[in-house]
Copies of this chain bind each other. A is one copy, B any other.
Amino acid sequence: MVTTPNESSDIVYSVDCPTRDVMDQISNKWVTLIMIALADEPKRFRRLMRQVQGISQKMLTQTLRGLERDGLVNRAVLPTSPIQVEYSLTTLGRSLYVPLVELRTWSEKNIEAITAARADFGR
């Protein structure tokens, strides 16, 4: 985490911090879902699209490209006709899967507390 000092000696999370750039990428609505879906086993485009409900073809393509670009996902074109494309997690991707799934576990575990807090809020 790249930081710069400020008057009160707080750590400042710089705008141009590369870590923040990475965090922005993976703090994405679809990234977590796709990564988790791919963790089970390699999957083809259509199957992913069915599994990650509500994602558009455009967003799935776009998000997968980003993940491929960052070395998190592997894209393999199968020499069939018509073409099939299989996506899988890379080693790096599998290492990211660990904290991602912990985040999901936290969500599942605390969904009730959050729902309760929301109900309480504004009364």
Contacts and interface: CB of A to CB of B under 8 A. Distances in A.
Interface of A: 1, 4, 6, 8, 10-15, 18-20, 22-24, 26-29, 31-33, 36-37, 40, 47, 50-54, 68-72, 92, 95-96, 98-100, 102-108, 110-111, 113-118, 120-122
Contacts of A108: 1, 19
Most chain B C-beta atoms within 10 Å of own C-beta, residue among A12, A27, A120, A121? A27
A4 B23 CA distance: 30
Nearest to A69: B121
A40 B9 CA distance: 13
Contact of A13 (B31, B37, B105): B37
A69 B31 CA distance: 25
Interface centre among A18, A28, A114 (most CB of B within 10 A): A114
A113 B51 CA distance: 29
B12 A51 contact: yes
A6 to B, nearest CB: 6
Contacts of A104: 1, 19, 23
